[in-house]
Amino acid sequence: MDNVNNSGNEPEALTSELSQADIAALGIGAHSRSKKHGKRRLAIIITAAVFAVLILALVASFFGARWYYKDKAAPGVHLGDVAVAGQDAGQLKQTVDHEIRNSKIIISDGQGKKATADFKDLGVSVNVDKTVRNLMAAKGDGAGRVVPFSKSDIKLVAKTDDLPIDTYLTKTFVNDSDRAVPSSVAFDGNSNTFVANAGHGGRAPEMSGVKKSINTLIADPGETRSVKVAYKTIDTPVSENTAAAAADSANKLLANKIVISNGDASQFEVPVAQLASWIKPNTDLEKGQISLDIDKDAIASYVNSETPKQLNQDMVSQQDIVDGNGKVMLTMTKGVNGVKVKDGDAVANQVYNAMTSGQPATIQQAADITKFDVKQTKSEMRIVVDRAAQTATVYKNDQEVKSFLVCTGKSGGDETHLGNYVIYLRYAVQTMRGPGYVSPDVRWVSYFNGGEGFHTADWNPVGIATGNPAAYGSHGCVNMNVNDAQWIYDNCPQGTLVQVVGAQPGGAVR
């Protein structure tokens, strides 16, 4: 029985041991897989972090580049063959000027004559500022501005005219006696009109090759090109009738007045000579025609520089003299609003539109207005000159102080003028002069209205005593006895209000 029991226990123990071993083995495998899985997760996290850092760096680089090139030419922008990336407006202007100076054409006729011409010689007008603006704006304002792999070729903004090209070639290669001269249009400053200048036939250089070289240099400046010219015999390239018609058209444009105002108290008319400077006759020798162009850039330059000079106003305070009740008796200085014009480009566009349409125009320029203020001064002293009574009465704070007998200006055109004035100039002694008279050593003179004033009149006691300006009147002054005129001089300073009232008497009033 014992043997049976022992053999029965052994299998159970073995089974138990195997189960524990299996469990242990299983535990070790799970731990190993967990460690491998953790390493893979860590690698993924690190990779993602590195990728995120790279993305952030690229984004920062992108926006940093956009900020850097905000006021500069973008990567990939070229003026002809010259890369201008990173140049600001000032540097671009220098580059453009340099390329213009170095744009040359070597011209020969194959008969021994040769010349080197630049843009100025050939009448090529380059708008440097507009070219710079085009370089700055190239590739737009979006993400494309900072992409260095795309290229944007910008050419010069330039205008050509056949006439100066023909003139240069003719003067350089053709003798005076052999030349064909086109009829032309020019402004005559003496008559303020455009006039036609007659041309004539003769020998002329063929300009097509030169024009082609000019266009190539406009697109790719800064180089020297060579070209040969041939000759041809022609009638005048532009007829006198054509030039006369163009001059008539230009003069019709000049007849349309252009007036610019500030919307307040000032305006000015653009001078005819200035209008004429904006009208550009453009000669097409191949077609024998003259067209008229309006120079919009020149208009904008003039408006933006000239209208502030003509239309801006400093604010001026109004100076009023009032009586004791605050009633305005006299405005010494009229108030002026302060005006500062703005938006010149909008005005330039309106001027350009008026000229191109051949219409007169009155244009109001936008402006900032500062309303003038009013300063009041109470007049303590006041003199009332009554022509009807032939008296001068002095008031202080509206209380009568003194009254004097006077003789005012004579009838028939020399009457003392009605109105409110102030004493503005005084002389203790003065030689008074006027049409047909000289009065030396006149004393106690107090002027209140131009040449009209209070003063002694030793020569006119009868006129003062009788108050008879019709027979004894002055040239407009208020004649007074010596002591009375001196009292006015001593007691009524500059700034004293003078009121001339009353009807002109026909004879003596006393």
| Residue 139: predicted pLDDT | 76
| Residue 391: predicted pLDDT | 98
| Residue 435: predicted pLDDT | 86
| Residue 53: predicted pLDDT | 60
> Who's near 218: CB < 8 A, 6+ residues apart?
124, 155, 156, 158, 160
CATH class of 256-375: alpha beta
**End-to-end C-alpha distance for the chain, whole angstroms:** 181
| Residue 28: predicted pLDDT | 45
Q: How many residues does the chain have?
A: 510
Asked if residue 365 lies in contact with residue 260, where contact means CB atoms within 8 angstroms, the answer is yes
| Residue 14: predicted pLDDT | 40
Helix and strand numbers, DSSP H then E, in the chain = 12, 31
% helix, strand, coil for the chain, step of 5? 40, 30, 30
C-alpha 393: how far from chain center: 55
| Residue 13: predicted pLDDT | 41
| Residue 148: predicted pLDDT | 63
Which of these, 263, 257, 276, 265, lies nearest to 343 by C-alpha position?
263
CA 509, CA 387: separation in Å to the nearest integer? 10
Q: Which residues pair with 374 in a beta bridge?
A: 318
Q: For 204-241, how does the pLDDT look when each residue is reduced to its tens digit (9 = 90+)?
A: 899 999 999 999 999 999 999 999 999 989 899 899 99
- The 3-class SS string of 158-223 reads EECCHHHHHHHHHHHHCCHHHECECCEEEEECCCCEEEEECCECEEEECCHHHHHHHHHHHHCCCC
| Residue 118: predicted pLDDT | 97
| Residue 402: predicted pLDDT | 97
Flag residues of the chain having pLDDT under 50. 1-28, 30, 61-63
| Residue 17: predicted pLDDT | 44
Asked if residue 469 lies in contact with residue 410, where contact means CB atoms within 8 angstroms, the answer is yes
Which of these, 303, 481, 324, lies nearest to 395 by C-alpha position?
324
Which of these, 288, 299, 190, 195, lies nearest to 249 by C-alpha position?
195
Asked if residue 243 lies in contact with residue 184, where contact means CB atoms within 8 angstroms, the answer is yes
Q: What is the DSSP letter of 313?
A: B
Q: For 49-76, how does the pLDDT look when each residue is reduced to its tens digit (9 = 90+)?
A: 666 666 665 555 444 555 677 889 998 8
Domain ranges of the chain: 77-240, 256-375, 379-501
H or E segment and range at residue 478: strand 478-480
CA 227, CA 208: separation in Å to the nearest integer? 10
CATH of 379-501, one of 3.60.10.10, 2.40.440.10, 2.70.150.10, 1.20.1740.10: 2.40.440.10
